[in-house]
Amino acid sequence: MRQIGLSLIILGFLGGALLAVLDPHTIEWSWFIPCLIVGVIGVVVVQLAIRRDASDTTRTQSNFQILRSSLGTIVSKLDELDAGKASIDVYQLPERIDRLVRADIEDFVGARESIAHACGMQAYADVMSHFAAAERYLNRVWSCSADGYENEAHVFIGRSREQFTEAAAKLAELGPTAASPG
């Protein structure tokens, strides 16, 4: 259903764009308006598909399992990294971070919308503000590592771990039934 909607949006846009450039002085409204309507119908179809996916409790529950699992793995891997940071060459930190947590971050990001659908925007904001801060701190570790600032990189590993831990705590507060329809 989403693919059909996206196709309608594309057809409406391309048709309207073509009609708009055929004659630079006038637009053939009798053709342009139907293209506009096709695009609007596409937007409505895509929105309906998104809402249908959001209300699918099986998918939402599965996404919450992914969210909790990936965030738990990120926290445990960063605990390990933080504990052993003194023995890691500062220039090796980006590769180590990628190997340890990149896939779990991608999994979390792919499932994050279920928080808003199941628990509301405030719950989403509570979790994602800490998650986003943690990602920024990881990016800071990368920058420090590239410049050879070992002490600063080590500080930001700890800060990132703390923010991921706080995001996990906020997610845990949502409870095991957070993904239930309500």
Q: Which stretches within 87-149 are classed as H helix?
A: 93-111, 113-119, 121-147
* Same domain? 62 vs 37: no
Full residue range of the structural domain in which residue 111 is found: 57-173
Do the domain assignments include residue 92?
Answer: yes
User: What separation in angstroms does the CA of 150 have from each of 92, 116, 147, 154, 177?
Assistant: 11, 38, 9, 6, 43
Report d(CA 182, CA 37) in Å as an integer.
34
CATH number for the domain harbouring residue 92: 1.20.120.660
Q: What DSSP element (H or E) covers 76?
A: helix 57-83
What's the confidence (pLDDT) of residue 180? 46
Report d(CA 168, CA 158) in Å as an integer.
15
What's the confidence (pLDDT) of residue 96? 93
pLDDT along the chain (182 residues), means of 10: 92 92 86 94 91 74 92 96 92 93 95 88 95 96 93 96 96 67 44
Do the domain assignments include residue 181?
Answer: no
